[in-house]
């Protein structure tokens, strides 16, 4: 049966070795919002969810069977991996574009990477690029193309090719009242396939939601290509409505609130907690937050009451000098205090760490390691500084970038400008930091069991032994890191 529009996105879990090993796939939330916009306008839709696909060729039967007039490659704006503009996913997007054009479909693309590389996408078959926040722009463009409601090249917020070259129409202001958006098209995903993978690898089924858009803070390495320097929020009641819908349909065990900053507005978390409890919607969740905001009022208490089990924070560095250079707006003392309070509330803590920022010395690195040792986060995510177009950081290092401007996949970890040390030093540092944390956690558990040895079980003993093993393997790795610690 012919469809008006086939939606897809360019992120293939199989093409990202690190994430494929982790096997924690989330549905393409931004794409599902776009599907809902099209359906609300009365268009018939289909979805090729590339997240779980083997390769790009799996879209071909859907193109052949559905004979869509338009293929929309709408990347998930809420997946941080898409903001990194990984070249392997860019290649996948090009293949999807070419497959679609060969079938005679009009091709529309949207995402951070297309907006930064317009000509490359046009050269590979895209006809329109939706820039900035996409839903309203996409809706108007579909109306113009499928119903002749106006000139598609007059729609605000798009780019296209003309005889004179690449053209962009005036930008569109972002939506302020997010409650006006329809809920994502959750019925379009293969929920049982996602559930099976999650339960097999993690013992529970997690799905993603978003309560806000944008970020008002000024970290100079953080790209804001879609929403700019603004922050808009859904109401707690609207968020709870969606939680209840999810509970009644795909029945997740856990939610990842993938906002850049969860609950920034004063009182929002408290109101959300009360609304979720009143309507029986509360369930375990994790979110991302800033350490300074966590220390205000009763935010941590409200998070715990709402069901929060894990909070990730952008700690970045244990050196105040580096935090200030990043224009982070937080302090090392706030990081330590937020970690302490989260632990006291029984909430797991994750630290995002960033090595290699210009000016970072060996002493700054040791301060970051000392911070990790002192705070003992439950988990860490480590990257090296990554210059993205549109950021002040990118402009600062632009002249020293080589031919490579993007990582191939999320474990690339290539420092793409001259750093204090060799690129392999930072890869070794990545492993050293993880091993040290696991060793310190193992020591903590040994001390705990020494106080209550009757609590030990064979399974826990094996886990502790694995943690302590990191202490055995750490010295040779540290020696390798030291051998690489010479200037580039």
Arithmetic mean of pLDDT, 455-483:
61
pTM of the full predicted structure?
0.92
Residue 448, phi-psi category: left (phi > 0), alpha (psi -120 to 50), beta (remainder): alpha
> What average pLDDT does the segment 391-413 reach?
90
402 or 19, higher pLDDT: 19
Residue 418 has pLDDT above 70, yes or no: yes
Q: How far apart are CA 289 and CA 339, in angstroms?
A: 12
Question: What value, to the nearest 5°, has the Cα angle with vertex 257 and ends 252 and 262?
Answer: 150
In sequence order, the 6+-apart residues with CB closer than 8 A to the CB of 67 are 2, 3, 103
pLDDT band at 380 (very low <50, low <70, confident <90, very high): very high
Share of the chain above pLDDT 70, in %: 91
Q: Are 469 and 435 in contact (CB under 8 A)?
A: no
What is the Cα–Cα distance from 442 to 444, expressed in whole angstroms? 5
pLDDT digits (tens, 9 = 90+) for 83-113: 788 999 999 999 999 999 999 999 999 999 9
Residue 454: pLDDT over 70: no
Q: What does the pLDDT look like over 119-156, one tens digit per residue?
A: 999 999 999 999 999 999 999 999 999 999 999 999 99
Give CA torsion, residues 275, 278, 284, 290, to 10 deg.
Answer: 30
Cα dist. 95→28, 50, 236, 434, 435 in Å?
Answer: 19, 12, 40, 36, 39
Q: What's the average model confidence in pLDDT over 286-305?
A: 95
Is 241 a residue whose pLDDT tops 90? Answer: yes
Q: Give the pLDDT confidence score for residue 442 in this predicted structure.
A: 81
Using CA atoms, how far apart are residues 458 and 436, in angstroms rounded to an integer? 24
Residue 481 has pLDDT above 70, yes or no: no
CA distance 85 to 459: 40
State the average pLDDT over residues 66-79. Answer: 95
Q: Which of 11-15, 173-177, 454-458 has the highest mean pLDDT?
A: 11-15
Specify the range with the lowest mean pLDDT, choosing from 138-142, 342-346, 394-398, 447-451: 447-451
The gap from C-alpha 340 to its chain's centroid, in whole angstroms, comes to: 25
Give the closest residue to 73 by CA, choosing from 58, 87, 90, 57: 90
- Give bridge partners of residue 167 from the DSSP assignment: 160
Q: How many other C-beta atoms are found inside a 10 Å radius of the C-beta of residue 473?
A: 12
Residue ranges of E strands in 293-433: 308-316, 348-355, 379-384
User: Does residue 338 surpass a pLDDT of 70?
Assistant: yes
Place of tokens 């029984």: 346
488 — pLDDT class (breaks 50, 70, 90):
very low
Contact partners, residue 192, CB within 8 Å, separation at least 6: none
Residue 194: partners with Cβ closer than 8 Å, 6 or more residues away: 25, 27, 52, 205, 207
User: Mean per-residue pLDDT for 286-294?
Assistant: 97
Is the C-alpha dihedral spanning 114, 119, 120, 122 positive or negative?
positive
What pLDDT is attached to residue 445? 76
Question: pLDDT at position 388, please?
Answer: 86
Q: Looking at the predicted structure, is the pLDDT value of residue 451 above 70?
A: no
Average pLDDT over residues 22-46: 98
Instruction: Decide if 135 contacts 33 (C-beta within 8 A).
Output: yes
Residue 232 CB neighbour total at 10 angstroms: 15
Condensed to tens digits (0 to 9), the pLDDT of residues 180-223 reads 999 999 999 999 999 999 999 999 999 999 999 988 888 998 87
């Amino acid at each position: 049966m012919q469809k008006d529009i086939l939606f897809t996105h360019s992120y293939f879990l199989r093409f990202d070795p690190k994430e494929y090993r982790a096997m924690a796939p989330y549905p393409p939330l931004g794409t599902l919002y776009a599907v809902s916009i099209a359906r609300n306008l009365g268009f018939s839709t289909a979805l090729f969810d590339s997240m779980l696909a083997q390769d790009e060729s799996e879209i071909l039967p859907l193109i052949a069977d559905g004979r869509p007039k338009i293929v929309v490659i709408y990347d998930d704006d809420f997946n941080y991996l898409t903001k990194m503009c990984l070249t392997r996913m860019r290649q996948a997007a090009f293949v999807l574009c070419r497959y679609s054009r060969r079938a005679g479909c009009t091709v529309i693309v949207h995402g951070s990477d297309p907006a930064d590389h317009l000509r490359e996408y046009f050269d590979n078959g895209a006809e329109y690029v939706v820039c900035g926040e996409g839903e309203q722009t996409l809706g108007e463009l579909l109306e113009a193309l499928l119903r002749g409601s106006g000139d598609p090249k007059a729609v605000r917020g798009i780019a296209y090719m003309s005889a004179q070259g690449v053209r962009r129409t005036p930008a569109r202001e972002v939506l302020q009242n997010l409650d006006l958006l329809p809920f994502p098209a959750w019925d379009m995903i293969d929920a049982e396939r996602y559930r099976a993978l999650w339960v097999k690898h993690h013992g529970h089924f997690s799905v993603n939601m978003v309560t806000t858009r944008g970020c008002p803070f000024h970290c100079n390495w953080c790209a804001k290509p879609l929403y700019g320097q603004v922050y808009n929020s859904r109401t707690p009641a609207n968020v709870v409505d969606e939680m209840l819908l999810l509970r009644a349909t795909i029945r997740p065990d856990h939610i990842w609130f993938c906002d850049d900053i969860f609950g920034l507005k004063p009182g929002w978390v408290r109101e959300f907690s009360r609304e979720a409890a009143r309507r029986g919607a509360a369930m375990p969740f994790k979110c991302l937050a800033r350490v300074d905001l966590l220390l205000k009022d009763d935010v941590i208490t409200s998070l715990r009451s709402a069901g929060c089990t894990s909070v990730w924070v952008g700690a970045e560095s244990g050196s105040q000098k580096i935090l200030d250079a990043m224009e982070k707006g937080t302090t090392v003392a706030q990081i330590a205090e937020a970690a302490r309070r989260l632990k006291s509330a029984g909430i797991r803590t994750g630290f995002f760490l960033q090595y290699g920022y210009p000016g970072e010395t060996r002493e700054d690195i040791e301060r970051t390691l000392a911070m990790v040792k002192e705070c003992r986060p439950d988990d860490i995510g480590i990257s090296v500084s990554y210059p993205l177009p549109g950021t002040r950081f990118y402009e600062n290092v632009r002249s020293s970038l080589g031919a490579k401007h993007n990582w191939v996949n999320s474990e690339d970890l290539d420092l793409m400008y001259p750093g204090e040390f060799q690129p392999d030093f930072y890869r070794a540092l990545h492993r050293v930091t993880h091993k040290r944390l696991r060793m310190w956690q193992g020591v903590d558990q040994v001390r705990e069991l020494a106080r209550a040895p009757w609590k030990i079980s064979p399974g826990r003993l094996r886990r502790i032994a694995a943690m302590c093993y990191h202490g055995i393997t750490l010295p040779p790795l540290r020696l390798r890191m030291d051998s690489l610690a010479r200037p580039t």
